[in-house]
């Protein structure tokens, strides 16, 4: 007497379900990748704006430190510097405002603003005390 033999494998329904689920997963991953590629241009523009603002801020801070925190940049003044090169599509501006901190008015805040294709703003507070 011969016994019934069992065949190993997948049914047609199981194979179709695998194809459908795999297709949905692949589609979701591709849509996410497409979104990342679309936004990569904006991320690069933001990075350029931030790096430009940081480079300019570092230049101004070096000038302040070299002057011994004296009023190198008077309050209420817009500052320009040739070292603050703005890449194409961007503009850089810097402004010094008077700041009071803990009832002491001997402080200033330097704000560097990069605008254009993307934008960034950095601020630095420094004392106006003469050494």
The residue-averaged pLDDT of 13-23 equals 93
Residues in contact with 85: Cβ distance below 8 Å, sequence separation at least 6, in sequence order:
52
Residue given tokens 């790096």 in the structure block: 51
The count of other CB atoms within 10 Å of the CB of residue 57 is 19
* pLDDT score, position 34: 83
Instruction: Quick: pLDDT tens for 60-79.
Output: 888 877 776 555 677 777 87
Reported pTM: 0.62
Closest by CA position to 110, among listed 97, 92, 93: 97
Task: Please report which confidence band the pLDDT of residue 15 belongs to, taking 50, 70 and 90 as the band edges.
Answer: very high
Q: d(Cα 68, Cα 74) in Å, to the nearest integer?
A: 14
Task: Please report which confidence band the pLDDT of residue 131 belongs to, taking 50, 70 and 90 as the band edges.
Answer: very low
Task: Please report which confidence band the pLDDT of residue 108 belongs to, taking 50, 70 and 90 as the band edges.
Answer: confident
* pLDDT score, position 80: 73
What's the chain's average pLDDT? 82
Task: Please report which confidence band the pLDDT of residue 129 belongs to, taking 50, 70 and 90 as the band edges.
Answer: low
Beta-bridge partner residues of 95: 78, 111
* pLDDT score, position 2: 62
């Amino acid at each position: 007497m011969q016994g019934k033999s069992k065949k190993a494998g997948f049914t047609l329904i199981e194979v179709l379900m695998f194809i459908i689920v795999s297709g949905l997963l692949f589609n979701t991953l591709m849509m996410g990748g497409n979104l990342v590629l679309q936004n990569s241009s904006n991320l690069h523009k933001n990075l350029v704006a931030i790096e430009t603002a940081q480079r300019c801020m570092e230049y101004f801070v070096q000038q302040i430190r070299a002057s011994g925190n004296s009023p190198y940049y008077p309050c209420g003044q817009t500052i320009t510097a040739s070292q603050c090169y703005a890449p194409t599509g961007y503009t850089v501006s810097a402004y010094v405002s008077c700041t009071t901190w803990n009832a002491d008015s001997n402080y200033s805040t330097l704000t560097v603003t990069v605008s254009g294709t993307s934008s960034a703003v950095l601020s630095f507070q420094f004392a106006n005390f003469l050494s």
